[in-house]
Amino acid sequence: MSAPLRLGTRRSTLAMAQSQMVADAVAAASGRAVELVPIVSEGDVNRASLSQLGGRGVFANGLREALAADRCDFLVHSLKDLPTVQPEGLVIAATPPREDARDVVVTRDGTPLGSLAPGSRVGTGSPRRIAQALRHNPRLDIHDIRGNVDSRLARVRDGELDAVILAAAGISRLGGDLGGLQAEALGLAEWPTAPGQGSLAIETRSDIDPEVHAALAELDDEDTRVAITAERVVLNALDAGCSAPVGTHASLAGGDLRLRAVVYALDGSQRIGIDRTVRLAPGYGGETGSGNGADAADDGGPIARAARAGREAARRLLERGAADLVPRESTT
């Protein structure tokens, strides 16, 4: 009997829950048992603000070190926490089908974010969410918080905060129980989220047993990979960290990739946005919408076209002054 495959994961309740979902799917695909290997990341022990931690992969580095040292066979990451530069010797073997990419505002009584009273205390540790919240309602009192989903919800339930902003996918993966609190889903057109939000990444070593790699690859969803490629290329081309005030969302419809990217000032006072629509379906060339036709002859396939769309979106954002708004990171 083959030895169990070892899945490296952060120790948080959410990480363990989503890793168990992947473990069950990999076990079915490979015919081998999969055991979870909890690993402590820097982000789990360093309680500094996310804006101070920046884009240094604090939720990924410890896991990747364990993978490279053969203490596990593959990892499961929340893709939004993963730096855009792929380390040598490691590969993303699969991106399973994406869940809800939206953010939600959780309150005690369901008051929408834009209608919260002046001075309402809203908790989030994300510079992007802070900027977006202040743009929607400049009267808010933003509290920079860390902690797991349950602890954040408890701070609303106990009255310490009036609202928190969370990822819809995280709540869903934990069962969706808000314990009597109310959630307002924020539309992606006006509130684009972190590149890759709602997606998971299954990462392994490039020299892993081909049969293991093939089993992991069975979980890959091409539409998800195309969309997150465009989003993450925007972030990479802007030279911005994972926690920068950048919101992106890409979706596929009718053979088209529709990409929205917005860069915010940290205080929400300014934003620069762009929309692009790129034709992906085989047999079609060129672009529609805001494109200029530069990719019309591109035949590199959907992933290559998505990457080009992301680079072009970033270029146009920079031309419009995005560099003045985005904190730069050399280790994205």
**Where in the sequence numbering do the catalytic residues fall?**
81
CA distance 180 to 58: 33
Rg of the chain, C-alpha, whole Å: 20
Residue spans of beta strands (DSSP E) within 97-230: 103-107, 121-123, 141-143, 163-167, 182-185, 200-205
Contacts within 8 Å (CB) and 24+ apart, 315-324 = 315/237, 316/274, 317/234, 317/238, 317/261, 317/263, 317/272, 317/273, 317/274, 318/238, 320/272, 320/274, 321/272, 322/238, 322/263, 322/272, 323/238
Q: Are 248 and 258 in contact (CB under 8 A)?
A: no
Structure token digits, residue 229:
């490629």
3-state helix, strand, coil in the chain (%, to 5): 35, 25, 45
CA distance 118 to 233: 37
What is the per-residue burial (b if ≥16 Cβ within 10 Å, else e) of 208-231?
beeebbebbeebeeebbbbbbbbb
The number of beta carbons lying within 10 Å of the beta carbon of residue 259 is 27
10 Å CB burial of residue 157 (0-12, 13-18, 19+) is middle
DSSP states along 76-108: EEEGGGS-SSPPTTEEEEE-PPP----EEEEES
Q: Identify any residues that bridge with 111 across adjacent strands, giving them in sequence order.
A: none
CA distance 280 to 252: 9
